[in-house]
């Protein structure tokens, strides 16, 4: 049995490293799972698994990378178990309000619809592609960090992200009235297109 003082130190150390990342882990899970309830369950399970394995964390990668790895794997396992197709209805946001009919209100509605369609497009991706894209483009991990988190070769991660971006762009192109001006992939930097 672990002495109380040592156990308390482990708990404090884990909390100091994990709690600042709790929100990011939840958003990884939300983007992977597509709804709040499943995301909360997966984020909680990821934190519990991470705490259970914390004494074996050797620091070979950043703690955040290790935690993203656990969260992503929990979500992938949950998606495999689910076996039913994710419904786009899960992403439907409740009620749209147009406060005063001003042009800004319509712009806000269009932006809200773009976000909803982007979330729905993410859910159409194969889970492995979705995981890579979320870690790179939404969580800001480097390709190397994502490769470590997913336990995949760097080239595989780059390929999955590229293919996922192309799939998302193809899905979004179904709505040309909302995405016709989109000429860059998510996550691409402006300087790549400027001379």
Domain assignment present for residue 42? The answer is yes
The pLDDT, as a whole number, for residue 51 is: 94
Whether residues 106 and 168 fall in one domain: yes
Name the nearest CA neighbour of 138 among 13, 25, 4: 25
Domain boundary among 85, 114, 138: 85
The pLDDT, as a whole number, for residue 194 is: 37
Domain that holds residue 144: 100-189
Whether residues 106 and 59 fall in one domain: no
Whether residues 144 and 182 fall in one domain: yes
Q: What are phi and psi of 188, to 5 degrees?
A: -75, 145
Whether residues 59 and 17 fall in one domain: yes
CA pair distance 165, 129, nearest whole angstrom: 9
Residues of the chain with pLDDT under 70: 1-5, 83-106, 178, 180-195
Domain assignment present for residue 26? The answer is yes
The pLDDT, as a whole number, for residue 145 is: 92
Whether residues 74 and 141 fall in one domain: no
Classify residue 42 by burial, with Cβ atoms within 10 Å: 0-12, 13-18, 19+.
Answer: buried
CATH number at residue 116: 1.10.10.10
The answer to whether the CB of 8 falls within 8 A of the CB of 18 is: no
The pLDDT, as a whole number, for residue 4 is: 63
């Amino acid at each position: 049995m672990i002495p109380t003082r040592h156990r308390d130190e482990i708990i404090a150390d884990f909390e100091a490293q994990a709690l600042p990342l709790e929100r990011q882990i939840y958003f990884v899970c939300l983007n992977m799972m597509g709804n709040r309830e499943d995301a909360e369950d997966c984020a909680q399970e990821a934190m519990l698994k991470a705490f259970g394995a914390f004494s074996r964390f050797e620091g070979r990668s950043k703690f955040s990378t290790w935690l993203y790895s656990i969260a992503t794997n929990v979500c992938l396992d949950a998606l495999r178990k689910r076996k039913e197709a994710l419904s786009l209805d899960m992403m439907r946001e409740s009620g749209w309000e147009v406060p005063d009919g001003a042009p800004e209100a319509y712009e806000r509605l269009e932006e809200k619809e773009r976000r909803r369609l982007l979330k729905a497009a993410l859910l159409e991706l194969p889970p492995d592609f979705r995981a890579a894209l979320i870690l790179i483009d939404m969580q800001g991990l480097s390709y190397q960090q994502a490769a470590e988190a997913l336990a995949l070769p760097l080239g595989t991660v780059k390929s999955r992200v590229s293919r996922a971006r192309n799939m998302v762009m193809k899905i979004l192109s179904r709505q040309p009235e909302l995405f016709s001006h989109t000429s860059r992939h998510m996550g691409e930097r402006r300087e790549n297109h400027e001379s």
